[in-house]
Amino acid sequence: MSHARAIHLSRRGLLAAGGAVGLGVALAACGDDKGEAKDGGSGSAAAKSGPWTFKDDRGKTVKLDKVPANIVAFTGVGAALYDYGVQVKGVFGPTTTTGGKPDVQAGDMDVSKVTVLGNAWGQFNVEKYAALAPDVLITTMFDDAGTLWYVPEQSTKQIAELAPSVGISVYDRQITQPLQRMWDLAESLGADMKAAKVTDAKKRFEAAAARLRAAAKAKPHLKVMAGSASDQLFYVSGTRLSIDLEYFKALGVNFVEPPESAKKQGGGWYESLSWENVDKYQADIIMMDDRSSAIQPADITKPTWKKLPAVKAGQVIARSPEPILSYDKCVPLLTSLAEALEKAKKVS
């Protein structure tokens, strides 16, 4: 089994179990790596014209005669582009819940206005994809092999023949890097990056980062654990590989770090614990996976969970292991953790 395949399977197993995602490859650096459209400037996507190029994080450059109009993207990518004013035509990945409501990864995107090609892992309707006459497919990448997230391995060749693809890496780097890459991509697609809504969100992100840094500095003794719940197992994510946790750690947050030997089963992302051993690590604050694939804290009935000091103290907050890569959606991630640190007491 190849290294890339092994990582892909570990991510697949993690998602299926609702495990804590940990999010290397250096950002491609040269001429077009910021993905700016050759005609320059900004404005609405409809107003953009002329040739379009974008160099993705695999080092591959997509060249088209005009700016893509029929965009198909992973749901979280579509949500990020939506925040910048770019509407995609189709999405794949967690889009709606079993109750028909927008999935957390859909953000503010109106899911009724997009064609859903697949709502779960392994689902991707190639016939519907072809019918959209896609100009480009955009998704993220969670390994250093350039594997396109949520594009089924068995359909990769067929999908690739229908349109070029763009991959944005969210592997082993701080969240600020893919945030900038998504910004560059949105700008190349015609988004107005000088709009007040966009610039204000970036300023709020910077302010929230400063707040988190200050909170972490004020309470360095508080230990934070990133977890995720499934029926049989509790997953503890280390900071290495995770774009959110790597950034929070760089800002000074003190995290529980499972040893590398314990994370082997999870491809280096996480350690799996039985519910009997959920108290293996001492934590003052627990961040829990907010994706629909994971059991949410309010629904965890395990007595060992309820006995954890952080749970008893009410010091449990949500975490987005697959953040929507717009500044607007990342502000709450920083703010939530900063508030938790500011209010939390030492309980471990």
Name the percent of the chain lying above pLDDT 90: 82
Asked whether 180 and 187 are in contact (CB, 8 A), the reply is no
Per the model's pLDDT, the better-predicted residue between 283 and 31 turns out to be 283
Look up the pTM and report it.
0.87
Q: Which has the minimum average pLDDT: 7-16, 202-211, 244-253, 266-275?
A: 7-16
pLDDT digits (tens, 9 = 90+) for 323-334: 999 999 999 999
Q: Find the mean pLDDT for residues 305-312.
A: 98
Token pair listed for 147: 């594997």
pLDDT digits (tens, 9 = 90+) for 226-246: 999 999 999 999 999 999 999
Asked whether 263 and 298 are in contact (CB, 8 A), the reply is no
